[in-house]
């Protein structure tokens, strides 16, 4: 006769209960009027497929810091968003024959769900995606401000170019002269910047 082990950790029973309580009580929602808030930002992930353990190296550290600060009574602004603009999304969509918007949205939903399951301490009322017009209108606003003050200008310069991905690569994305994504030999190209 075996007795039921009441000390066993059953995540599927325990974790949703706490996540619901944190959401209901607004434990991680930042109060706009707090006099001395702390801003914690790890980074906004680029939504491709699903999260991997490398993402957690960033997000778990931020989560621990936020939990400590909240326990100390501090107001913390801890947002989550998705760095969701870019050629990789377009290329992935072309490969799969679907609209980049649909591909990106689907990945964002997957990321959102995974991060929720991890129980990370984000203020979900502030979730954003950089491909939303409500978000990028502000980057455009900021750019125009720089432009009007002569701090943004146009000039041609040499860039790393992958002829297969049809995209510019950062120096870090060129590995032994080849594209990190597709191994095509990277060329130089003069482009207006």
The neighbouring-strand residues paired with 169 are 160
Q: Contact between 187 and Zn ion (CB under 5 A)?
A: no
Supply the minimum distance, in Å, between the C-beta of residue 153 and Zn ion.
29
* Alpha-helix residue ranges (DSSP H) falling in the chain: 11-25, 53-71, 87-96, 100-118, 133-148
Supply the minimum distance, in Å, between the C-beta of residue 51 and Zn ion.
23
Contacts of Zn ion in 123-162 (CB under 5 A)? 162
Supply the minimum distance, in Å, between the C-beta of residue 114 and Zn ion.
27
Contacts of Zn ion in 64-93 (CB under 5 A)? none
Q: Which residue is nearest to Zn ion (CB)?
A: 179
Closer residue to Zn ion, CB minimum distance, 36 or 95: 95
Q: How many CA atoms lie within 13 Å of 6's alpha carbon, on the beta-carbon side? A: 1
Closer residue to Zn ion, CB minimum distance, 67 or 181: 181
Q: How many CB atoms lie within 10 A of CB 179?
A: 20
Q: Contact between 164 and Zn ion (CB under 5 A)?
A: yes
Quick one: which of 116, 87, 90, 115 has its CA closest to 102? Answer: 90
The Cα–Cα gap between 6 and 13 comes to: 12
Stretch that binds Zn ion, among 26-34, 116-124, 135-143, 177-185 (CB under 5 A): 177-185
Q: Which residue from 146, 182, 185, 191 is in contact with Zn ion, where contact means CB under 5 A?
A: 182
The Cα–Cα gap between 119 and 61 comes to: 13
Q: Contact between 179 and Zn ion (CB under 5 A)?
A: yes
Closer residue to Zn ion, CB minimum distance, 79 or 88: 88
Binding site for Zn ion (CB under 5 A): 162, 164-165, 179, 181-182, 184
């Amino acid at each position: 006769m075996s007795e039921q082990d009441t000390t066993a950790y059953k995540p599927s029973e325990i974790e949703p209960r706490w996540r619901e309580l944190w959401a209901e009580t607004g434990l991680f929602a930042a109060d706009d009027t707090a006099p001395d808030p702390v801003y914690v930002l790890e980074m906004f992930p680029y939504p491709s497929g699903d999260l991997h353990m490398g993402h957690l190296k960033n997000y778990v550290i931020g989560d621990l810091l936020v939990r400590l600060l909240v326990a100390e009574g501090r107001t913390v602004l801890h947002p989550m968003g998705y760095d969701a603009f870019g050629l990789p999304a377009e290329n992935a969509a072309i490969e799969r024959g679907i609209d980049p918007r649909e591909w990106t949205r689907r990945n964002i939903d997957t990321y959102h769900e995974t991060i929720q399951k991890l129980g990370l301490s984000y203020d979900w009322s502030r979730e954003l995606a950089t491909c939303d017009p409500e978000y990028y209108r502000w980057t455009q606003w900021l750019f125009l401000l720089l432009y009007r003050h002569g701090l943004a200008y146009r000039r041609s310069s040499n860039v790393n170019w992958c002829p297969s991905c049809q995209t510019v690569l950062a120096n870090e994305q060129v590995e032994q002269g080849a594209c990190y994504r597709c191994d095509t030999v990277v060329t130089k190209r003069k482009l207006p910047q």
